[in-house]
Amino acid sequence: MDEKQRVAFLRRTLTQANIRRELSAQQVASALLGKPNHYTNAKFVNCYWTKILNWLDPDPLPLPAGTYDMLFRPSDLESICLWELLESYEKVPNKRSSANEELEETDIPDDDDGMYLSTFRCSSRAEICSGSPRLAFQPGHPQHSSHFMRKRRKPCVPVFIGIGIPKREDVDSYRIAMLTLFSPWRRSTSEPLKLRTASWAETFDNFKQQAGRRTLCLMDHFEEHHECRKAADNY
């Protein structure tokens, strides 16, 4: 390989590296300067869900702390799934020093010993529906006496931190993840996502038949994300 061939090879390698990178120079510079790299009117709420998935697996681990908000959610939200709970409801302290006081964000839990499903980021009363009833957690929640839930004025976008949402081709993992997100489970049985005598395929097929159009649309969007990443890698 002569000099020109080596230069051409390095140029092609660098070009491919630039194409495949996930962060642009502008995004990196914005992060280093503490500037936003995009603007949106959406608000986001984090969910640390790795241990939740492990706990709901057919061979469950002991109760992880990260399931408290869903497991002991108010009885009025019995039919609410995990996605809707994160999207439409906010955990609020019982006492505030003033009506306009901003709520401080709780310590962000890591994936191993996080206490709750998410941190509450509600900045003011304006973000919570005025007149919305206070919904008390069920006894057993560590914050039963200090916090309550209330419907948000504007829905948030859940962001799942930990393991990624599985692809459809990872059949059992995908079914467990979708049932975890969109079925209103509680740990009242040893297998809360399905009947002991039912298979995952049968349970998931029944769930899809009863699921609403929006739920099916969200599931399709998850798969589109994987397809876009695959297309980018192939390119």
Q: C-alpha distances in angstroms, 175 versus 22, 171, 180?
A: 28, 6, 8
Among 38-42, 196-200, 201-205, whose mean pLDDT is lowest?
Answer: 38-42
pLDDT at 118 over 60: no
pTM of the predicted model over 0.75: no
Distance, CA of 107 to CA of 136 (rounded, Å): 22
**Residue 124 pLDDT greater than 50, yes or no:** no
pLDDT averaged over every residue in the chain? 75
* d(C-alpha 49, C-alpha 190), whole Å: 19
Comparing CA positions, the residue from 211, 46, 190 lying closest to residue 121 is: 46
The residues near 200 (Cβ < 8 Å, ≥ 6 apart) are 171, 172, 175, 176, 194
pLDDT band with cut points at 50, 70 and 90 for residue 215: very high
Q: Say whether pLDDT at 121 is over 60.
A: no
- Interval 155-172: pLDDT, tens: 988 888 888 888 888 888
pLDDT at 233 over 80: no
Average pLDDT over residues 140-167: 86
3/231 Cα distance (integer angstroms): 33
Contact 76, 88 (CB under 8 A): no
